[in-house]
Structure 1
Amino acid sequence: MIRLSRALSSGWFAAVGATALISLSTPAQAAQAAHAVQLSCGQTVTTSVVLDADLLDCPGDGLIVGSGGITIDINGHAVDGVGLGIGIRNDGFDDVTITNSSSTPAGVQEFDHGVQLNPGTLRNVVEELTIQSNEFSGVELDSASNNQVRDNLIERQAQRGVAIIAGASDNVIVDNTITTNQGEGVFVQNSVDNRLEGNQITGSGDTGLILEGSSRNTLLTNTLGDSSDGAIVLQLGSNDNLVQSNSFARNADAGLTVSDSTGNRILSNALQGSGDSGIVLQSSHGSTVTGNDVSGNTGGIELSYSDNNLIRSNIANDTTGDGISLSHSLNNYLELNQANGNSSRGIYVDGEAAPGAGNQLIRNTTNANQGDGIHVSKATHTIQGNTARDNDSWGIFADPGNVDGGSNLAGGNAESAQCTGVVCTP
């Protein structure tokens, strides 16, 4: 991507704080302005404008929104700073559009924040911009609601690509390319009911996308890859979020980690090539994990100290560890999962449960693993209707005290007895 630099406008404005020519217009008349005025870096904009030249080396803010219902069209130019202030700042004016109508990239760069929508800002649109090389964030929504950030290139911030903080709600972050930011690609903190959809989030120096204390958000059809940490993290009371149909690849830590959070829905995601397990639940309860493909990771699905979760119809094949593992986790329901061809066990359950508090292992398929197909240590868990064939150890190994629910199938396993602790038929 071509970086918009001071060289774009050599011969126009070389001095710090030089003025830029802007045309006054309504959005529908942007190309047919009746007259023009001169605006300086840091000036407040109160009517619709179309930039006719770059704003360079702004010593503080670039442009400040001063009225609702206007359009600021960067028109293929640069709003450029010296590492201070805000590129384009809105302190509470509604129905503002910040856009680029030109086919030439329009850059907002080298400020503390590229675009900042502050408390009370409603129904703004930030679109078609190249937002790069800012210090703290490319786009920050600070207690701002019902805004759209769409179709932007947000790259190379020293910290975060997009920050949604302080109770920001009902915002839509859609179809952006958010890449090579040194912190998180997207950081959501104490904010609810936001929608992040169709974004490409790659090369983050920290987690690709993190929710912290944030509930009822929707993460849909995003692509996340090559993060120096995990792809997505939900933590510290991030409850009742929907994570659906996202793709994860080549992240240094787990694909998706949920910690100290409840009631999340993790549906139909594809998570491959993680440095840890595909999906990890830590002290997280009441979640639904269904239809995910976590094949080809260090581990598949991993639960620790996590209770009352539904783990159904996932594919956890060909990992370098266990396909599905539960440690000190109670009242989880594992049904119709595939855990085949793993370098350790297909399904592993560790930790004792009081009667009635055990995990339910129902109709799972665990074939061709290098350890046991299913290994359940301690009691009291229910094992029913599972299939375990061609494993390099036991088909099913269950310690005494577990519940044999019947209808388990096993054959071709290395241990001639096929199963212990439950009855298996061929």
Structure 2
Amino acid sequence: MIRLPRILTSGWLAAVGAAALFGVLMSAPTAHAVPLTCGQTVTTSVVLDADLLNCPGDGLVVAAHGITIDLAGHTIDGVGLGVGIRNNGFDNTTVTDGAGTPGVVQEFDHGVLLDPGTSGTLVEGLTLQLNEIAGVELNNADVNNRVQDNLITQQAQRGVTLIGGSSGNVIADNTITFNQGEGVFVENSASNRLEGNLIADSGDAGLVLEGASGNTLLTNTVTNNSDGAIVLQYASNDNLVQGNTSSLNSDAGLTVSESTGNRLLSNTLQNSGDSGILLQDAHGSTVTGNDVSGNPGGIELSYSNNNLIRSNIANDGNGDAITLEGSLGNTLELNQANNNNGRGIYVSGEAASGAGNRLIGNTANANSGDGIAVSKAVHTLQGNIARDNNAWGIYADSGNIDAGGNRASGNGESAQCTGVVCTP
């Protein structure tokens, strides 16, 4: 059965080409149940009528445009070599399962491999397990391939990989679990959409972009992975990461390193082994509307410049809520940093005039340390609120800029603030 794809935004359609998108909806030739053998090239639509077991190389090889391979509840099984279902560049094909029990592709190097030039292919409703390199791999696959509603589990390495310039594809609504490497790995590939996937229990990070720009990561759930939940690194620029949820990962909820211009919006990143959001040598990003409560640290910037950190919630953490180290030209605005076991907001590192950070309208209440602490100079503080912290409400070294409107009361230090003037 060919399932209609989710309606995508007009901007994303323009990026991949509307004509290519609707190619997957073309009527495929009628599929018939036929006997097949391991390694067979398939040139017409087929329905498997039996399992293919112990295939010594490839399972099946797509060899025509516009055909459907229906596993019909059967298993394609290998001996640890080759590819379960290989597509060497044929378009508008479908690999699916029309039976009540999902078909299984297992014990190959790759479960499904879409090679260079493949476009408009749908991989749907399968169980891909116990393969060596990846359950599904797109290698320089063209636009509008769609991998959806599959169980991708227990690969010796990665669950899903997009590499070699695989651009304009959709990975949606899959369950990607118990893979020994990364759950999803995207390298040197752009304008892909990863949406609504459950990525859990990986032996490495959950979802990794490496040298991958302009991708959309939307409403994925990333949990209980052995490294970070979501990682953008090595010139992964201008990506949108929105509405994702992470918890119980061994490292940070969301890490951006050596990358620029990313948008991190409205994610819920909690109970991580490290900070909720970590920016390392990451510049020009927008970090707004995220909930990073309940982590060892909330939002951490290290040598990261010209970022907007706005309207985030960083409460109930085990350390400092928001920290900036050696980071310049950032705007921290309207964030909540309350009830943490460290400081609410901490800024360290000296800035030349005009290069400092701006702290505007933040709330830092009931923290175990200072509400807001700003060392060195020259940073700007305006309209912040700091109440009921165990130490200073606001502590600012001399030379910082008091732009007025800061308020403090009920803090452990009777003077409430130093380096800026605070009213109750």
TM-score (norm 2): 0.93
In structure 1, what residue type is equivalent to 2:57? G
- The offset of 1:385, in angstroms, is 0.2
- The offset of 1:37, in angstroms, is 4.3
In structure 2, what residue type is equivalent to 1:147? N
- The offset of 1:105, in angstroms, is 2.0
In the alignment, is residue 207 of structure 1 matched against residue 205 of structure 2?
yes
Counterpart in the other structure of 1:195: 193
Counterpart in the other structure of 1:87: 84
- The offset of 1:29, in angstroms, is 4.0
| Counterparts of residues 128-147 of structure 1 (less than 5 Å) | 128-145=125-142, 146-147=144-145
In the alignment, is residue 125 of structure 1 matched against residue 130 of structure 2?
no
> For residues 175 and 166 of structure 1, what CA distance do their matches in structure 2 show?
23
- The offset of 1:40, in angstroms, is 1.1
Q: Which digits, 9 at most, give the CA deviation of each residue in 1:356-381, with x for residues without a partner? A: 00000000000000000000010000
8 Å Cα contact 2:96/2:125 also seen in 1:
yes
Q: Which digits, 9 at most, give the CA deviation of each residue in 1:183-221, with x for residues without a partner? A: 000000000000000000000100000000000000000
Percent identity between matched residues is 71
Counterpart in the other structure of 1:227: 225
8 Å Cα contact 2:272/2:296 also seen in 1:
yes
> For residues 274 and 131 of structure 1, what CA distance do their matches in structure 2 show?
29
Counterpart in the other structure of 2:390: 392
In the alignment, is residue 71 of structure 1 matched against residue 71 of structure 2?
no
Counterpart in the other structure of 1:6: none
In the alignment, is residue 49 of structure 1 matched against residue 46 of structure 2?
yes
- The offset of 1:288, in angstroms, is 0.0
In structure 1, what residue type is equivalent to 2:159? G
In the alignment, is residue 319 of structure 1 matched against residue 317 of structure 2?
yes
> For residues 239 and 39 of structure 1, what CA distance do their matches in structure 2 show?
45
- The offset of 1:28, in angstroms, is 7.0
Counterpart in the other structure of 1:304: 302
Counterpart in the other structure of 1:112: 109
- The offset of 1:39, in angstroms, is 2.1
Q: Which digits, 9 at most, give the CA deviation of each residue in 1:66-87, with x for residues without a partner? A: 1010000000000000111000
Counterpart pick for 2:362 among 361, 364, 368: 364
Counterpart in the other structure of 1:175: 173
In structure 2, what residue type is equivalent to 1:158? A
In the alignment, is residue 347 of structure 1 matched against residue 320 of structure 2?
no
8 Å Cα contact 2:304/2:327 also seen in 1:
yes
Could you say which structure has the larger radius of gyration?
A: 1
> For residues 211 and 89 of structure 2, what CA distance do their matches in structure 1 show?
24
Counterpart in the other structure of 1:404: 402
- The offset of 1:27, in angstroms, is 4.8
> For residues 225 and 127 of structure 2, what CA distance do their matches in structure 1 show?
21
- The offset of 1:108, in angstroms, is 0.3
| Counterparts of residues 14-33 of structure 1 (less than 5 Å) | 27=28, 29-30=30-31, 33=32
Q: What's the secondary structure of 2:251's corresponding residue?
A: coil
In the alignment, is residue 40 of structure 1 matched against residue 63 of structure 2?
no
In structure 2, what residue type is equivalent to 1:326? L
Q: Which runs of 5+ in 1 are unaligned?
A: 1-25
Counterpart in the other structure of 1:19: none
In structure 1, what residue type is equivalent to 2:360? I
In the alignment, is residue 103 of structure 1 matched against residue 100 of structure 2?
yes
Q: Which digits, 9 at most, give the CA deviation of each residue in 1:237-269, with x for residues without a partner? A: 000000000000000000000000000000000
In structure 2, what residue type is equivalent to 1:293? D
Counterpart pick for 2:372 among 365, 374, 396: 374
In structure 1, what residue type is equivalent to 2:218? L
In structure 2, what residue type is equivalent to 1:269? N
Deviates more, 1:36-45 or 1:106-115: 36-45
> For residues 29 and 71 of structure 1, what CA distance do their matches in structure 2 show?
8
- The offset of 1:314, in angstroms, is 0.1
Counterpart in the other structure of 2:146: 148
> For residues 226 and 352 of structure 1, what CA distance do their matches in structure 2 show?
38
Q: CA RMSD in A?
A: 0.9
- The offset of 1:38, in angstroms, is 3.1
> For residues 243 and 37 of structure 1, what CA distance do their matches in structure 2 show?
44
> For residues 168 and 111 of structure 1, what CA distance do their matches in structure 2 show?
22
Q: What's the secondary structure of 2:36's corresponding residue?
A: strand
Counterpart pick for 2:274 among 272, 276, 294: 276
Counterpart in the other structure of 2:259: 261
In structure 2, what residue type is equivalent to 1:265? R
- The offset of 1:310, in angstroms, is 0.1
Counterpart in the other structure of 2:420: 422
8 Å Cα contact 2:125/2:149 also seen in 1:
yes
> For residues 193 and 109 of structure 2, what CA distance do their matches in structure 1 show?
25
Q: Which digits, 9 at most, give the CA deviation of each residue in 1:93-132, with x for residues without a partner? A: 0010000000112100000000000000011000000000
> For residues 59 and 246 of structure 2, what CA distance do their matches in structure 1 show?
36
> For residues 362 and 100 of structure 1, what CA distance do their matches in structure 2 show?
55
Counterpart pick for 1:286 among 273, 284, 287: 284
